[in-house]
Amino acid sequence: MSPRELLGRVGRYTLLSLVLAFFALPLLWLATAPFDRTPEIAASWPEFTLDNVRELLDNENALRSLRNSVLLAGGTCALVVTLSALAAYALSRVRLPGRDGLLYALLLLSSIVTGTAAMVPLFNLAYELDLIDSRLGVILVLTGGLLPSAIFILKDFTDATPVSYEESARVFGASPLQIVRHLVVPLIRPGLATIGVWSVAQVWGNFLIPFLLLRSPEKSPAAVVMYTFYTEGGQPDLALISTFSLLYSLPVVLMFLFVSSRYGFRFHGGIKR
């Protein structure tokens, strides 16, 4: 190995170590504190215990917020996946006038509007529709915001499936709905999984919309409840916060691992346009 190559290699590993340290550092606390008998704000080697977990499982408030998160995420995910799959398929196979322009405009709008810019009218709209403090309201608002990107990503998947499958089934006499059920859904399953995971993750972590639209604490999801844990009432309960953080993070991490091992979390061609 020439000195130059050696230098390159050393440089490379140094850089990678720095990257590792930078990304690992904030996560350390999440790994240690939940199992520490006396958790502190600094990450330290824990005196191992599962008491914190046990305590959390007795905390009705915390568990209820997780259930709320599941409801919101599940509902939004189901709506987003179903509606975006139908729309993406139709848009991919039938030439509707102005399709591409419309799709781009919506994509742009969704990445701008979702969340903060439209919070005032979103609040008003929910109020007018009697959807304040309603989980359905949160689900609908979130779905509307996620759909354009979901359609865009899924259309990539449907565009990538050869039309000869569908034509072949059509020559055998399959109806459009049969084609969707028998062929399109199984063929774009990785895409559906990607959209599903992505939408669950988006909702799971979304703080603003439920914070804006839900009034009663019994309906608040974990994102909002977690925020109240560490901002209200003087001394934060570190044992509760850390254990709750872990429990709250676990589902998205597991889901992500499952999907990426099973289907590969991939970017399709359209992303590069």
Partner 1 sequence: MPADAAGLGRARAAAFVAPALLLIAGFLVFPALWTIYLGMTDYRLTGLAAAEPAFTGLDNVRRALDEDQFTHSLGLTLQFVVGSAVLGQALLGFAIAWLLRERHGALRRLVEALVLLAWILPGSVVAFLWIALLDREDGTLNALLGTPGTAWLVEHPMAAIIVFNIWRGTAFSMMLYAAALSSVPPSQLETARLAGASSWQQLRDVVLPRIRGHVLTNLLLISLWTFNDFTPFLLTNGGPGDETEIMPVFVYKTALFNGELGYGAALSVLMLLVNLVIALVYVRLLRAREAAS
Partner 2 sequence: MAAIALTGLTKDYPGGVRALDGLELDVADGEFFALLGPSGCGKTTILRTIAGLEEATAGTVVIGGDDVTRLPPGRRDVAMVFQDYALFPHMTVTDNVAYPLRIRKVPTAERRGRAAETAGQLGLTKQLDRRPGQLSGGQQQRVALARAMACHPRVFLFDEPLSNLDARMRLEARTFLKRLQRELAVTTVFVTHDQAEALALADRIAVLSDGRVRQVGTPTEVFRRPANTFVASFIGSTPMNLLPGTVTAGARVLVGDAALPAPVGEIAPGTPVVYGIRPEYLRLTPTAGEDTVTGEITVVENLGSTQLLTLEGPAGTVQVVVPEDSEAAPGAPLHVVPRADRALLYRPDGDGELLTNCPTPGGAAPGA
For the chain, first and last CA: distance in Å?
41
Among residues 63 and 180, whose Cβ is nearest to partner 2? 180
Among residues 49 and 255, whose Cβ is nearest to partner 1? 255
14 binds, among partner 1, partner 2, none (CB under 5 to 8 A by kind): none
187 binds, among partner 1, partner 2, none (CB under 5 to 8 A by kind): partner 2
Among residues 40 and 167, whose Cβ is nearest to partner 2? 167
* CB of residue 133 to partner 1, shortest distance in Å: 16
Phi/psi-derived region of residue 150, left when phi > 0, alpha when psi is between -120 and 50, beta in every other case: alpha
* CB of residue 227 to partner 2, shortest distance in Å: 44
Position 171 contacts partner 2 (CB under 8 A): yes
Query: How crowded is the C-beta side of 55, counted as CA atoms within 13 Å?
Result: 16
What residues numbered 185-204 form the site for partner 2, per CB under 8 A?
186-187
- Quick one: which of 78, 90, 106, 169 contacts partner 2 (CB under 8 A)? 169
| Nearest to 142, CA basis, from 219, 222, 200 | 200
Q: Which residues contact 270 (CB under 8 A, 6 or more apart)?
A: 152, 153, 155, 156, 159
216/233 Cα distance (integer angstroms): 19
170/158 Cα distance (integer angstroms): 17
Among residues 164 and 216, whose Cβ is nearest to partner 1? 164
* CB of residue 57 to partner 1, shortest distance in Å: 18
Position 262 contacts partner 2 (CB under 8 A): no
- Stated as kind and residue range, the H or E segment containing 196 is helix 189-205
* CB of residue 172 to partner 2, shortest distance in Å: 4
Position 168 contacts partner 2 (CB under 8 A): yes
Are the C-beta atoms of 258 and 49 separated by less than 8 Å? Answer: no
Where along the sequence are the contacts to partner 2 (CB under 8 A)?
Answer: 162, 164-165, 167-175, 178, 182-183, 186-187
